[in-house]
Structures are given as C-alpha cells and as structure tokens.
Amino acid sequence: MINIRQLLIVGCLVLASLPARAQSLIDAKDVRPPEQLSLCGEPVPVAVADVRERFEKEMLLSLWDRPQVLLWLKRSTRYLPFIAQELERAGLPEDLKYLAIVESALRPHAGSSRGAIGFWQLMPETGRRYGLQVDEFVDQRRDIFASTQAAMKYLKELHQQFGKWALAMAAYNMGEEGLAAEVIEQKTNDYYRLYLPLETQRFVFRMMAVKLIMENAGRYGFSLSEKDYYPPLRFDTVAVDCFQSIPLRILAEAAGVAFKQIKDLNPHIRGHYIQAGNHQIRLPQGSARRFESNFKAMVEQHDRERSQRIYVVQSGDSLSSIADKFNVPLAALLIWNRIDLNKTLYPGDRLVIYPRQKKPVPAVP
C-alpha cells in the first residue's frame, strides 16, 4: 500500500512541476503588444512604456488562467455570433462583443458584490433605464437577447457623451458621472493618461487582452476542433398567456422536457413560477408542437389538483410542523406556496400541499 509519506512526496513533485509547465507555455514574446494595436477602431499608444506595461500585465494574467480562456473559447460559438450580428445592425464596433467576456465570461448568472448581474453585468437601475424587467419574478439582465439590446443602448449613449470608445468603456465600468468628474478635474479626456479607480485602469486593457487571445487562439497554444466548441442556442419560442401564476414544471411536463431545460433556456425567469400575463417562452427545439397540444389540459388538471390539496392552518401549526405532518420537505412547502421561512401563520390560512404517496405496508404472512 502507498503510505501517506509517499503520497505527500508525489503531491509535492506534481505541484512543483505546475509553475514550470505554465511558464513554459508563456514567454515574453507572447505578451508583447503588436506594433499596430487598436480597440473599437481606436489606436492604442503601445509605444508609451506605461501603456505597454499595463497591456502586458493583462495578457500575462489572462494567459496564466488557461482553463478560463478555454471556457471563453468553447462558449464563444454559443453567444458571440448573435452579439456580433446585433452590434453590426446597430452600427457599433464588433470589438464590443469582448466586453461580455470581460464582464461575465459569457455566464448568464454571473454576479458582483455591487449587484451587477448577467452577461453584461448591468446594475438593476441601469437595466430598467434601458427597458429591462428587473424584479422578484423576472431579471432580463440574465437573458442574452434582451440584455444585449440594453447594453448596446447604454454603450451608444456613453460614446455620444464622451466621444471615444476607450472612455465609453471606462464609464461603463465605473459610471458616467464618476468618469466625467475625473475628466474635468484632471483636465484630460485621454483614457491612457487618466488616473482612475484601479479596476477601471485595467478594464480597457483586459478588453485588449481578450480580443488578442480570442482572435489568435492558436498562437497562444489553444487548439480546438469544431466538436470542442459548445453548440449555438437552438430553441422554439411559444406564446404563453396566463391568467394566474403557473409552475414552470407544468410547462416542462407539457413540452415533455426537463425542468432544467426550461430554466436554462429562460434564465431570466426567477424561481419556480411564471406570473400572470403574456410570456414568450423558449423550449428545446422540436418540442413546441407537443407543448401546444398539452399545455391547456395540463393547466386545467393542475388547477383541479391544487383545489384538492388545500390545508387550513390550525392553531399551534408552524411551517415545520405542517411539513412533518405531511412528510414533505419544508423547502417544497415554501415553493408550492411561494413563501419564505419568515412568514407568520395564522389559523385559517390556506396552504397548498402535495403529500407524498405512502408506500403500501407489506402483508404479514
């Protein structure tokens, strides 16, 4: 048997080899800026020593995290073609598509400690300002289609305000009022000469690094075949008109797909229900016909079952005691009734409960 000492020795040898291997993959020549470097059609003054140093830092940090870069590349075929198409339609620079990688690594549920969410890391008030629904039921910042439109409108306004894309991206990161104040105080509108919050000083250079790596993946040691890339989003869209809230599981059952597939294609829907109103719901490709045949009948069946699953709260009841009484998880009780643990129960309150099926007791011989 291998003892603990042998395992420790092997582990140390493996760990010691990692830096050497990583360094062998990254050389000084790999992070040198090209003589002609531009971002969004604007030249980058790489001949300036400080600019070159900041650029090389972001290149080194990006290339060091090779698994993350590999995920950028694999996800790119799922989202970037759509973003590039919309940027072209709006007359905006294609390089802006790399902003979504810098902000979220192309993850719909990416979030920051400040409250920014989604592909483009929009704050709640910014999302609402540009037409997104952001509330307890729906958060369209997580939707690639809606959030891309909002982000483009915001970026276009920032460019109109500051006149340069480097400044527009800086404002996107730190806020337009803060950047405007620094431009006035420092008496320059040159992004590369402004002293800004450290994150914002790095932000545009991270965009440059992402652009260079994504457009020259082979040069930096990333070799992917066509099957390595993740497939584009493919789905059917159906109109769903609800006069009351409906569990997402009913939609999934009507389409004959998994609950997770509905959530993955509609990341903007929060929780387990869609609310009353008109909705455009994405379904796995090829499932729309089945959904349209089944949905109405399943909603009617759900309503009948729900009316038969009402429990009237008694004196002394609590959420935990009710869950125990019916042998159901407390979390399920909260989902079925869209409540939280802080809810105070009163005698006469009505709760929906779907008791577990009791297993038959085997007959005694």
pLDDT at 303: 82
pLDDT at 3: 58
Q: How many angstroms separate the CA atoms of 359 and 168, rounded? A: 64
Q: Are 268 and 138 in contact (CB under 8 A)?
A: yes
Q: Are 254 and 288 in contact (CB under 8 A)?
A: no
Strands (E) in the chain, as ranges, are: 38-39, 42-43, 235-242, 246-247, 273-274, 277-284, 310-312, 350-352
Q: How many angstroms separate the CA atoms of 349 and 75, rounded? A: 48
Q: Are 108 and 78 in contact (CB under 8 A)?
A: no
Q: How many angstroms separate the CA atoms of 328 and 169, rounded? A: 50
pLDDT at 308: 72
pLDDT at 5: 60
pTM check: above 0.85: no
pLDDT at 363: 44
Reading the chain (365 residues) residue by residue, the pLDDT tens digits are 445 565 555 455 444 444 444 444 677 888 888 889 999 999 999 999 999 999 999 999 999 999 999 999 999 999 999 999 999 999 999 999 999 999 999 999 999 999 999 999 999 999 999 999 999 999 999 999 999 999 999 999 999 999 999 999 999 999 999 999 999 999 999 999 999 999 999 999 999 999 999 999 999 999 999 999 999 999 999 999 988 889 999 999 999 999 999 999 999 999 999 998 999 999 999 999 999 999 999 998 888 877 778 888 888 888 888 888 888 888 888 888 778 888 888 888 888 787 765 444 344 44
pLDDT at 89: 97
Q: State how far Cα 247 lies from the chain centre.
A: 23
Q: How many angstroms separate the CA atoms of 73 and 278, rounded? A: 36
pLDDT at 244: 85
DSSP codes, 1-40: ---HHHHHHHHHHHHHHHHHHHHHH--GGGGPPPSS-EET
Closest C-alpha to 334, from 269, 246, 271: 271
Strands (E) in 160-243, as ranges, are: 235-242
Q: How many angstroms separate the CA atoms of 210 and 334, rounded? A: 43
pLDDT at 23: 43
- Domains annotated for the chain, with CATH where assigned, are 30-228 (1.10.530.10), 235-307 (no CATH), 310-352 (3.10.350.10)
**Burial class (CB within 10 angstroms; exposed 0-12, middle 13-18, buried 19+) of 353:** middle
Triad 120, 126, 132: Cα angle to 5°: 80
